[in-house]
Amino acid sequence: TPVIGVLALQGDVREHLVALAEADALARPVRRPEELAEIDGLVIPGGESTTMSKLAGVFGMLEPLRERIRAGLPVYGTCAGMIMLADKILDGREDQQTFGGVDMIVRRNAFGRQNESFEASVEVSGVEGGPVEGVFIRAPWVESVGGEVEVLARHDGHTVAVRQGNVLATSFHPELTGDHRVHALFVEMVRGA
Ligand code: GLN
């Protein structure tokens, strides 16, 4: 059984721990660089990417996690987690840092004021059994991707799920629904890594 950490600096950590356990992983919160040695995969939760970026600096996680991701650690980011996995962001705070790992440009809060929070059916490539219920909360979208990035889902013409190698990211929050097929896809990626 793979051991999968949830980055527990800020955000909806508990919901991911539950979703991962239901997808047959051993899930545990991860806060310190030393704990990265004990996991086979990592989830970066939704929350607020500016705060997460700041705390990642305070906890000394930025460089150690960047290195682990470069070395192939499977990682899944939802919403703010997607922002943290972007090599480049738009509409970020001036000094906002990311871990990177996906050759993409992500725009924060992209769906805009009229649409701060909504749900939509999203067909995700690699997830069987019909569309998932996408929960979008001040969600980012992917503005553009490099050649190595696979687009897994779109909503209203905007890219909302991507994969590059062992890194998966969604604009929406499967952890807030009872449907854990996206987490199961990630657990399979960890098993295969
Ligand atoms: N808008 C938030 C950010 O920029 C993300 C929101 C979320 O994770 N639900 O980090």
Cβ(137) to ligand 1 under 6 A?
yes
- From 82, 109, 142, mutation site for ligand 1 pocket: most ligand atoms within 8 A of C-beta: 109
For residue 60, pLDDT beyond 90: yes
Q: Which domain holds residue 136?
A: 3-192
Please give the number of the atom of ligand 1 that sits closest to the Cα of 12: 8
- Which distant-in-sequence residues (6+ apart) come within 8 Å of 188 by Cβ? none
The domain that contains 184 carries what CATH number? 3.40.50.880
- Total tally of structural domains belonging to the chain: 1
The pLDDT value recorded for residue 57 is 97
For residue 168, pLDDT beyond 80: yes
118 CA to centre of ligand 1 in angstroms: 13
The pLDDT value recorded for residue 114 is 73
pTM: 0.97
Strands (E), 31-126: 41-44, 75-78, 86-90, 102-107, 117-122
CA separation, residue 6 to residues 11, 49, 131, 149 (Å): 10, 15, 25, 23
Calpha distance 189→104 (Å, rounded): 20
End-to-end CA distance of the chain: 13
Cβ(108) to ligand 1 under 6 A?
yes
Instruction: State pLDDT tens for residues 175-184.
Output: 999 999 999 9
Set 15, 155, 175, 183: catalytic member? 175
Q: How confident is the model at residue 120 (pLDDT cuts 50, 70, 90)?
A: very high
For residue 97, pLDDT beyond 90: yes
Residue with more model confidence, 116 or 172:
172
In eight-state DSSP terms, residue 38 is G
Quick check: 40 and 74 in contact, CB under 8 A? yes
26 CA to centre of ligand 1 in angstroms: 26
Instruction: State pLDDT tens for residues 7-45.
Output: 999 999 999 999 999 999 999 999 999 999 999 999 999
Which whole number is the average pLDDT over 137-165?
A: 98
